Amino acid sequence: MSGRRLRGLYFVTPEAASGRTELVAAALRGGARLVQYRDKSGPGEHRLREARALRALCREAGALFLVNDDIELTAAVSADGVHLGEDDAGIAEVRARLGPECVIGASCYNDLARARPAIAAGADYVAFGSVHPSPTKPHARRAGLDLLRRAHRELDVPICAIGGITPDNAAPVIAAGADMIAVIQGISEAPDPEAAAHKLQSLFAEA
């Protein structure tokens, strides 16, 4: 997967299912370049229907659609990729299952040493965070701007930053080297999600 498309605002859906499709549509109108479907608890049929609907929205907008953790759902809806955490399937296994065109992202938390084997195994991008205190994961490991700067210097795949990122604090994160900023509540809890997404995406043009 070419890293050229792995840049910009990366909207991660909130766990609460209510209004999720509308939030994704607003984020895409605001310019989001990637969307990650994150739902670990919903019924299988509901998740399948919703993922298909969100994939269609992303394709219409020219954005990439990824699924969090679930390899089978990724395959079932022909998603563009999957994002994996430390307790999920191995990258090489996922690559063999989903093929060479699938975008595979790997969470590396606050540990640069995790990124190198992930990249060697075939990860297309690596994610670090929480950059700021996160209301979604208040006890998440913290990864500061110095880590992002080092990752940008030393790694040869796109870097994604996540955790507590909002329109008001995102600019230094991008300046530190983040190719993507993954945002949940900075959009989902904003008074105007589309406007928040637009402000976040516009920061990449200024970087």
Domain residue extents for the chain: 3-206
Count of C-beta atoms within a 10 Å radius of residue 58:
24
Give the CATH fold of the 3-206 domain.
TIM Barrel (3.20.20)
The whole-number mean pLDDT for each consecutive block of 10 residues of the chain, a chain of 207 residues, reads 76 88 98 95 86 98 97 97 91 95 96 95 96 75 92 97 96 98 96 98 90
For the stretch 134-193, pLDDT in tens is 776 666 778 899 999 999 999 999 999 999 999 999 999 999 999 999 999 999 999 999
Catalytic residues: 38, 107, 137
